Amino acid sequence: MAGKLFDFKKSKVVSLVRKIIKEKDTREKAILYASTAVNYFFVAFQLYGGIRYESVWFTSLGVYYAVLISVNLYVGLSHEKQGREAWKIFRISG
């Protein structure tokens, strides 16, 4: 009875993970969006430190990560038009 409550094989999460593993394009997009999410955390952390401690260093790091986010989002949104060249920009940017 417990096995019928949740069908693991038909789960949307499992199908998404399988798609990420099998398809290179989907895997690259997942990595792009995950790294962008991590960079959002770094922006918030560095800007908080810069404001809290009145530090130019932390503030400049926050601005750097904000620029990195904009590059990542540009690559993600323009991937369909530019193809593989956009991913080279992403890899160079870190």
Confidence category of residue 6, pLDDT binned at 50, 70, 90: low
Residue-wise pLDDT for 19-49, tens only, equals 888 887 778 778 888 888 998 999 999 999 9
Domain containing 39 equals 24-93
Domain count, the chain: 1
Q: How far apart are CA 87 and CA 29, in angstroms?
A: 10
Confidence category of residue 62, pLDDT binned at 50, 70, 90: very high
pLDDT at 2 over 80: no
Residue 3 lies in a domain: no
Residue 41 lies in a domain: yes
pLDDT at 18 over 70: yes
| Helical ranges in the chain per DSSP H | 12-22, 24-52, 56-82, 84-93
